[in-house]
Structure 1
Amino acid sequence: MARIRELNKWANANTCIPIDILRISLGTFLLLKGVSFIVDKKYLHEILNSVGSFGSEMLLIHYVAMAHMAGGVMIIIGFLTRWSIWVQLPILLGAFTINFIGVFNPSDFIQSLLAFATSVFFIFFGSGKHSADYYLKMEE
């Protein structure tokens, strides 16, 4: 717990607008990806079929879409950012590995790699000064 406090202090002292823009961009990307999965259900269905047959494929499709949309909004506003990203990590890791198991798609691979790397960065960095987390922490 003390280590997280140290990371928060460092992040709040060294935060800047480009880092906040990166966090908002990550959240927007995840939100739009979740919306695209809802709008075009066949796309995610085809991705999952390239890997193999899942017994609970519809449950997985709904989990991915809703987790991306809810997590994306929370990351955009900076509310419970680390928790939101922890929920996203298994999905992003799965998206990253699907490219090696199924059909390799370079654009999906790069998107998943960048989203995963940015998410790992924000697990350590936190949401920054310009976020709901910081505002609520200051209200205590």
Structure 2
Amino acid sequence: MNTVKDLNKWANAHTYITLDLLRIALGVFLFMKGISFITNIQYLSDLISPIDKIGGGMFLIHYIAPAHMVGGIMIAFGLLTRWAIIAQLPILIAAIVVNFMGEMHQQNLLLAFIVLVVCVFFLFYGSGKHSADYYFKMQK
């Protein structure tokens, strides 16, 4: 627990508006990706087809889109950012793995890798000073 507090103190001391804008852009991107998956469910089904042989394909379809939408909103507002990112990590890792198991889509691989790197950064950095987490912490 002290590690998280130390990371929050460091992040609040070294906060920059560009990092907050990056966090908001990540959240909006994930939200829009979730909307895209909801509106085109066949595309999502085709994306997860290489790992559908393992089982749980319907579970994945019902997990990925809502996790992106809810997680994207939470990340954009900076509310429970680390928890929202933890929910995104299995999806992003699977997106990278699926590219190697099925047909290689270099754009999807690059996009998933960049989003994964940004998510890992915010997993350690946290939500920053301009966030709902910081606002609610200061209300005590």
Q: Identify the TM-score tier after normalising by the shorter chain.
A: over 0.9
1:2 aligns with 2:7: no
Which deviates more, 98-107 or 54-63? 54-63
Letter in 2 for 1:103: E
Q: CA deviation at 1:52?
A: 4.4
Instruction: Quote the Cα distance in structure 2 between the aligned partners of 1:71 and 1:95.
Output: 16
SS of structure 1 residue aligned to 2:63: helix
2:55 corresponds to: 55
Instruction: Quote the Cα distance in structure 2 between the aligned partners of 1:103 and 1:93.
Output: 16
Letter in 2 for 1:124: F
Q: CA deviation at 1:55?
A: 3.4
1:12 corresponds to: 12
Letter in 2 for 1:115: V
Q: CA deviation at 1:91?
A: 0.6
Unpaired segments ≥5 residues, structure 2? none
Instruction: Quote the Cα distance in structure 2 between the aligned partners of 1:86 and 1:51.
Output: 21
After TM superposition, what 4+ stretches of structure 1 lie above 3 angstroms from structure 2?
Answer: none
Unpaired segments ≥5 residues, structure 1? none
* TM-score, normalised with respect to structure 2: 0.96
Count of matched residue positions in the alignment of Structure 1 and Structure 2: 140
Q: What are the Cα deviations for residues 49-74 of structure 1, in whole angstroms up to 9, with x where unaligned?
A: 13442533122101100000000000
2:25 corresponds to: 25
RMSD of aligned C-alpha atoms? 1.0
Amino-acid identity (%): 50
